[in-house]
Amino acid sequence: MPIIRVALDVPVATLFDYLASDATTHDIGVRVQVPFGRKIMTGVIMEVLDSSPVTPSKLKSVASLFHDIPPLPLTLLDLFRFCSDYYHHPLGEVVMNSLPSRLRSSKPFIQKPTTPFQFRLTDAGRHADTTSIPVRSIIQHRLLTRLRETGVIKPEEARQISPSAPKVLQKFREMGWIEEVSIHSSIAKSISSPVLNTEQQTAFDAVANDIRKFNVWLLHGITGSGKTEIYLRLITLLLLQGRQTLVLVPEISLTPQLEHIFRSRFPTTLLVCLHSRLSDSERLKGWLQAQKGEAKIVLGTRLAVFAPLPKLGMIIVDEEQDGSFKQQDGLRYSARDVSIFRAKQENVPVILGSATPSLESYYHATNGRYRMLRLSSRAVKKAVLPAVHCIDIRSAKCMDGLSKPLVTALEKVLAQDQQSLVFLNRRGYAPVLLCKSCSWTAKCHRCTSRLVVHLREKQLRCHHCGHQERFPSSCPDCGDQDIVPFGQGTQRVEALLAERFPNARILRIDRDSTRLKNGWEKMLKDIYERRVDILVGTQILAKGHDFPNLSLVGILNSDAALFSTDFRAAERLFAQLMQVAGRAGRADIPGEVLVQTEFPDHPLYYALRRHDYAALAQTLLSERKMAGFPPFVYQALLRAEAPQISTAMNFLTSAAELAGSTTGGVEIFDPVPAQMARLKGLERAHLLVQSGSRKKLQEFLTSWYTRITTLPIRKVRWSLDVDPQEF
């Protein structure tokens, strides 16, 4: 009897075999119900076999197979296998968590259309030979005539013609004579597209010429250079070929403009959005339209990378450097990296777009693994990049964090009835030891990470490798005794702004205020309609938005990131500041950016003043090379959480011992408490492993993972994080 091997949502790295009397290989990818312990669980058939290593008498029989939707495509199952192998996460969980919740449930799913749609005559239908329809089939003739007159028909109108009309329409659809379109979209008018400038044209041509093969393209274009326009042109090309495009964006609710741009450019194309804020039924509907190949454009956040796309022709990852592409729990995948694997597997191009690419991607584009496309000027003729200036707050007078020159600039902008934005960097950085006269910072001699100050114990600790040492009494470089922990300090800037500018309309934008349903849309409207004078915002601020009336950006307390213990902090800060700076001066108002800093000569601010990403990238890359950080090494973290820190540390120590002698080409560090050592009542610690070879690291992780699972685990939750982004 055939045996099916099923993926189930259970935290063990194995699939489960069941007897299934009439299963064939066509059932691979089908959902099933199987007995598991005392429960019945829903799973997905991954393989169909003739025999199982399990004793036949011990095998249970499958309860039922669901044929409510087509099976998951084989390529998608391969993608799940890749993720499970690469991220060392149970395959069953990978598969089941990718599905909309309705498909994970125990009931078969009954499809019914939920939003208004209508049928539209296709070119094939318009020119179809009516003599092929038997004369007796009056309903067919009537429906076709009606469609040829009006072009479209709604299901309820069809039903008025005859109760059997839905069946006929279904048949027309199968023949390709009609297609389903949303009612809203078919009314909209298509917006015409601008003529591409030379750089855009070159970039477009390069991708278009190789549109049917795998390549990773890095589209490196400054803010406002017209990257979106290139996406739109390439999508047009794919639509003509009847193929689907997957567009991944960091946070969809923050980019309603992008959805709007896509919808107005392709008014008659079915576009679906897939993100975590949809209701279950909305998500399921979009997912099914993608799976049937009807949705030609799928716009989504990281989870959309697992959408079934039978006619996938291209993947776009916009703002590819954004941290939100990496999932921080469960399957800790990077949607950008998974996209690249998926594109390779399906032999289609993937485009990574950014004004400030991640150093990993940039490095690959400069060494030829990826192909670089550059857009170096703003697409709108009059728009120029804003002038960036540093205010040296060691000499400028400051009041609770606001310097005199910034206050003056804000006053001026207010008087001219334009808008300004005050950007606060509020990420909590661990304190480091800094010499303010020569900028020396305490570094770990073992791994060149910055050491973290632990004031109570008067100790410096490396959160990467575990090394510890005592406070020095003076600066080892210049001898100055005034060395202080740096990187803490909260400011009450928002309140101060309100005091200082009592007549200004101030709007605060942060994660909480944008999370409210429609909160962000309302804020945008207020900004556009000039009901706001000063915007105060944190990291969350406005990605990819045009604020036409914004002429001043003030940047406060970003210095802490310059001396962070996180080796990616400088890269992230630069990306963020470029993005924020890019908000100013989009239309015909020239913009100005003022950065308050104690370190105006720092290479990061120097690059920012000159809008010179490449220069900074070179500096950071050579630092990373010297220090042996990514992209020159590949890393993985073994993470552990427990009510007591000692429990987590002991677990990691045992895991490190298991790694023992088998570490060819892989470096294993000591366990350390995590940067954020306590989270939700649990103590967190981790252990870093790294290697110059991705393959060696993977081989090591595979065998190590299996051995870790044999450890006696009490009260510890652990996971492997491959290519970690947060420490």
Applying CB under 5 A, which of residues 148, 277, 446, 694 lies at the interface with Zn ion? 446
Lay out the sheet containing 178-182: strands in order across: 152-153, 117-121, 178-182
Residue 403 binds what, of ligand ADP, Zn ion, none (CB under 5 to 8 Å, by partner type)? none
Residue closer to ligand ADP (CB basis): 84 or 200: 200
Lay out the sheet containing 387-392: strands in order across: 387-392, 592-597, 550-556, 419-424, 534-537, 506-509
- Is-contact 449 464, C-beta < 8 A? yes
DSSP string, 46-85: EEEES--SS-GGGPPBP-EE--SSPPPPHHHHHHHHHHHH
Residue 478 binds what, of Zn ion, ligand ADP, none (CB under 5 to 8 Å, by partner type)? Zn ion
Residue 223 binds what, of ligand ADP, Zn ion, none (CB under 5 to 8 Å, by partner type)? ligand ADP
The SS3 of residue 389 is: strand
Residue closer to ligand ADP (CB basis): 223 or 339: 223
The amino acid at 289: Q
- Is-contact 107 69, C-beta < 8 A? no
Q: Is 33 in the site for ligand ADP (CB under 6 A)?
A: no
Closest of 588, 604, 602 to residue 551, by C-alpha = 588
Applying CB under 5 A, which of residues 28, 312, 444, 562 lies at the interface with Zn ion? 444
In angstroms, the Cα distances linking 236 to 181, 248, 262, 263, 297 are 17, 17, 11, 12, 10
Q: Least Å distance between CB 376 and ligand ADP?
A: 11
Residue closer to ligand ADP (CB basis): 229 or 559: 229
Asked, as a colleague might, if the bond just before 631 is cis with ω within 30 of 0, I would say yes
Residue closer to ligand ADP (CB basis): 203 or 645: 203
Q: Which stretch binds ligand ADP (CB under 6 A): 77-85, 183-191, 227-235, 525-533?
A: 227-235
Residue 435 binds what, of ligand ADP, Zn ion, none (CB under 5 to 8 Å, by partner type)? Zn ion
Q: What is the DSSP letter of 252?
A: G
Q: Is 420 in the site for ligand ADP (CB under 6 A)?
A: no
Q: Least Å distance between CB 446 and Zn ion?
A: 4
Residue closer to ligand ADP (CB basis): 135 or 195: 195
The SS3 of residue 691 is: strand
Closest of 533, 305, 320 to residue 414, by C-alpha = 533
Residue 460 binds what, of Zn ion, ligand ADP, none (CB under 5 to 8 Å, by partner type)? none
Contacts (CB under 6 A) with ligand ADP, residues 344-403? 379-380
Q: Are strands 64-65 and 31-36 parallel, antiparallel or unpaired?
A: antiparallel
The SS3 of residue 271 is: strand
Residue 200 binds what, of ligand ADP, Zn ion, none (CB under 5 to 8 Å, by partner type)? ligand ADP
- Is-contact 49 23, C-beta < 8 A? no
Residue closer to ligand ADP (CB basis): 403 or 549: 549
Residue closer to Zn ion (CB basis): 123 or 482: 482
Q: Least Å distance between CB 232 and ligand ADP?
A: 8
Residue 438 binds what, of Zn ion, ligand ADP, none (CB under 5 to 8 Å, by partner type)? Zn ion
Angle at 44 between CA 43 and CA 47, to 5 degrees: 130
Applying CB under 5 A, which of residues 10, 372, 380, 438 lies at the interface with Zn ion? 438
> What CA–CA distance (Å, rounded) separates 416 from 429?
37
Q: Least Å distance between CB 204 and ligand ADP?
A: 10
Residue 464 binds what, of ligand ADP, Zn ion, none (CB under 5 to 8 Å, by partner type)? Zn ion
Q: Which residues pair with 536 in a beta bridge?
A: 422, 508
Applying CB under 6 A, which of residues 92, 125, 226, 349 lies at the interface with ligand ADP? 226
> What length does the chain have?
727
- Is-contact 473 516, C-beta < 8 A? no
Q: Which stretch binds Zn ion (CB under 5 A): 85-93, 454-462, 540-548, 559-567?
A: 454-462
Q: What is the DSSP letter of 472?
A: P
Greatest C-alpha distance within the chain: 101
Instruction: Write out the two tokens for 505.
Output: 């309309």
> What CA–CA distance (Å, rounded) separates 199 from 221?
10
Q: Which stretch binds ligand ADP (CB under 6 A): 79-87, 216-224, 563-571, 650-658?
A: 216-224
Q: Phi and psi of 102, rounded to 5°? A: -60, -30
Q: Which stretch binds Zn ion (CB under 5 A): 328-336, 340-348, 462-470, 685-693?
A: 462-470
Residue closer to ligand ADP (CB basis): 200 or 358: 200
The span from the first CA to the last CA of the chain, in angstroms, equals 50
Q: Which stretch binds ligand ADP (CB under 6 A): 222-230, 241-249, 387-395, 719-727?
A: 222-230
Q: Phi and psi of 462, rounded to 5°? A: -90, 120
Q: What is the DSSP letter of 305?
A: G
Q: Which residues pair with 221 in a beta bridge?
A: 375
Q: Least Å distance between CB 230 and ligand ADP?
A: 8
Alpha carbon of residue 432 to chain centroid: 30
Burial class (CB in 10 A: 0-12, 13-18, 19+), 603: middle
Q: Least Å distance between CB 512 and ligand ADP?
A: 27
Q: Which residue has the tokens 């007159």?
A: 149
Residue closer to ligand ADP (CB basis): 88 or 227: 227
Residue closer to ligand ADP (CB basis): 196 or 627: 196
Residue closer to Zn ion (CB basis): 1 or 478: 478
> What CA–CA distance (Å, rounded) separates 120 from 149?
11
Contacts (CB under 6 A) with ligand ADP, residues 158-197? 194-197
Site string for Zn ion, 388-427 (x = CB under 5 A): ----------------------------------------
Applying CB under 5 A, which of residues 44, 421, 475, 535 lies at the interface with Zn ion? 475
Applying CB under 5 A, which of residues 31, 263, 364, 467 lies at the interface with Zn ion? 467
CB atoms within 10 A of CB 428: 11
Residue closer to ligand ADP (CB basis): 197 or 539: 197
Residue closer to ligand ADP (CB basis): 380 or 569: 380
Residue closer to ligand ADP (CB basis): 590 or 603: 590
Q: How many residues bind ligand ADP (CB under 6 A)?
A: 15
Q: Least Å distance between CB 371 and Zn ion?
A: 36
Applying CB under 6 A, which of residues 43, 90, 224, 487 lies at the interface with ligand ADP? 224
Q: Is 227 in the site for ligand ADP (CB under 6 A)?
A: yes
**From start to end of 393-445, where are the E strands?**
398-399, 402-403, 419-424, 432-435
Angle at 580 between CA 578 and CA 583, to 5 degrees: 110
Lay out the sheet containing 64-65: strands in order across: 16-19, 3-8, 39-49, 31-36, 64-65
Residue 196 binds what, of Zn ion, ligand ADP, none (CB under 5 to 8 Å, by partner type)? ligand ADP
- Is-contact 71 28, C-beta < 8 A? yes
Residue closer to ligand ADP (CB basis): 221 or 267: 221
Q: Least Å distance between CB 55 and ligand ADP?
A: 60
**From start to end of 263-349, where are the E strands?**
271-274, 297-300, 312-318
Q: Least Å distance between CB 462 and Zn ion?
A: 3
Residues that bind Zn ion (CB under 5 A): 435, 438, 440, 444, 446-447, 449, 462, 464-465, 467, 475, 477-478, 480
Binding site for ligand ADP (CB under 6 A): 194-197, 200, 221, 223-229, 379-380
